[in-house]
Homo-oligomer: A and B are copies of this chain.
Amino acid sequence: MDKSIIRAKTLVEALPYIQMFNNKIIVIKYGGSAMIDAELKMSVIKDISLMKLVGIKPVVVHGGGKKISEMLVKIGKEPKFIQGLRVTDDETMEIAEMVLSGNVNKEIVQLFEKQGIKSVGISGKDGRSIIAKKKLLDGLDIGWVGEIDTIQTELITALIENDFIPVIAPIACDENNNTYNINADYVAGAIAAKLGAEKLIYLTDVEGVLRDVKDKTSLISKIKVDEIQRYKDDKIIQGGMIPKVDCCAESIKNGVAGVHILDGRVEHSILLELFTNSGIGTMLMP
């Protein structure tokens, strides 16, 4: 019984947090380990399900690079990367789309539906939600790697209003009917900005921004957009973290109230960040 009362108290303690985000759109970039480990997967799905039930409007954007590479290997094709970007010829693009739109995307939907939560899996092609253009790598054409030209939220908004969680694969087309693979981080950022989301959450495989990359206790909890440059100068934000932080900064400039870089390897990291005082990642804010 005492345990039950503690439970009830816990629920009640979540009250102000629930209130704060009521009716707000929160975009979650779902990727990394949290998309592979079965237990973490369920933990993320449950966190987002709870968000939905307490009146938040979640939108999920997912990646799936690892699965694409596995499938390429299966058909006897070696994945190739230049500066971290996948070299994407026609066949690779076809496989990438099948894996993202036809496998990863639908699996997430299926997990939500299993929880009794209504969701719909789409890609940027559906409702022409994302129009892309070719992205060059320092002038080099590496195939069907795209960058975002335009976001059209008509379909996403219709799904939200009809009470579905939109689950979005980062695939888009251009005016000439070409298909592109786009970095899911950018897609999440652009959609959050266009929807006027309250928050954008990146599930990553790092703790957040660390003052000393070797010291996991050196997490920086809050960074203001105008402090970013100083952190870069001090080499605190460096390497792979730079594009992610830039993408966060961009979203904030476009009106998202806060962007969270969370450690997706921690169970219930989203709830911990949103619904308790124990913020566990790094929050970027205006």
| Chain A residues at the B interface, C-beta cutoff of 8 Å | 1, 4-16, 18-19, 22, 43, 46-47, 49-50, 53-55, 71, 74-75, 94, 97-103, 105-106, 109-110, 113-116, 118-123, 125-128, 154-155, 158-159, 162, 164, 171, 173, 177, 179, 266-268, 271-272, 275-278, 280
Contacts and interface: CB of A to CB of B under 8 A. Distances in A.
5 contacts: A4-B277, A9-B267, A10-B11, A110-B179, A154-B162
Given A11-B10, A18-B50, A271-B11, A113 B128 contact: yes
Interface of A is mostly: helix
A126 B114 CA distance: 11
A4 B102 contact: no
B116 A127 contact: no
Contacts of A126: 106, 109, 119-121
A32 to B, nearest CB: 19
A164 B120 CA distance: 14
Chain copies in the assembled complex: 6
A118 B97 CA distance: 20
B106 A97 contact: yes
A43 B15 CA distance: 12
A250 B126 CA distance: 32
Contacts of A128: 113, 118
Given A101-B106, A125-B106, A12 B47 contact: yes
Contact of A268 (B12, B100, B280): B12
A258 B84 CA distance: 52
A7 B13 contact: yes
A273 to B, nearest CB: 10
A95 B4 CA distance: 41
Given A8-B268, A15-B53, 5 more contacts: A11-B11, A11-B271, A12-B46, A109-B126, A110-B125
B11 A53 contact: no
Contact of A103 (B50, B98, B127): B98
Contacts of A43: 12
Nearest to A157: B162
A19 B53 contact: yes
Given A99-B102, A102-B103, A275 B158 contact: no
